[in-house]
Amino acid sequence: MLGQVSFAPNSARLSPSGSQAVAAAAKAQRDSGSPLRVVGHGGTGGDSPTQQLAGFRIALDRANAVAVALTQAGVPTDQILLETAPTDGNASNQAEIFLGN
């Protein structure tokens, strides 16, 4: 994992420390030329379809927020891959940035 961006519960707004992680990831991408993979995670969620959908939406919003920040930092959009992942308790309220596919 190249970087981790933490979010407040139910939020997709980057914090100052998240912006620092994005800047470091953008530099690593420029130096290597490899694509970045951004994996957004939802909150703690639940078992009902409505709760699962809400978790997916916030995970996608978080991945998109990181992708927007990466493009603003100079990473070409075709070098950013987005994913969402189910919340496992350890990775809730964050997005992870990986170098390469």
Q: Report the pLDDT value the prediction gives residue 84, as an integer from 0 to 100.
A: 93
Identify residue 4 by its one-letter amino acid code: Q
Q: What is the pLDDT of residue 97?
A: 97
Q: Inform me whether the pLDDT recorded for 54 exceeds 90.
A: no
Task: Kindly report the length of the chain.
Answer: 101
d(CA 52, CA 75) in angstroms, rounded, equals 31
Tokens representing 95 are: 């997005």
The DSSP letter of residue 47 is: S
Go through the domains of the chain in sequence order and give each one's CATH number.
3-99 (3.30.1330.60)
Tens digit of each residue's pLDDT (9 = 90 or more) over 39-52: 999 876 677 888 88
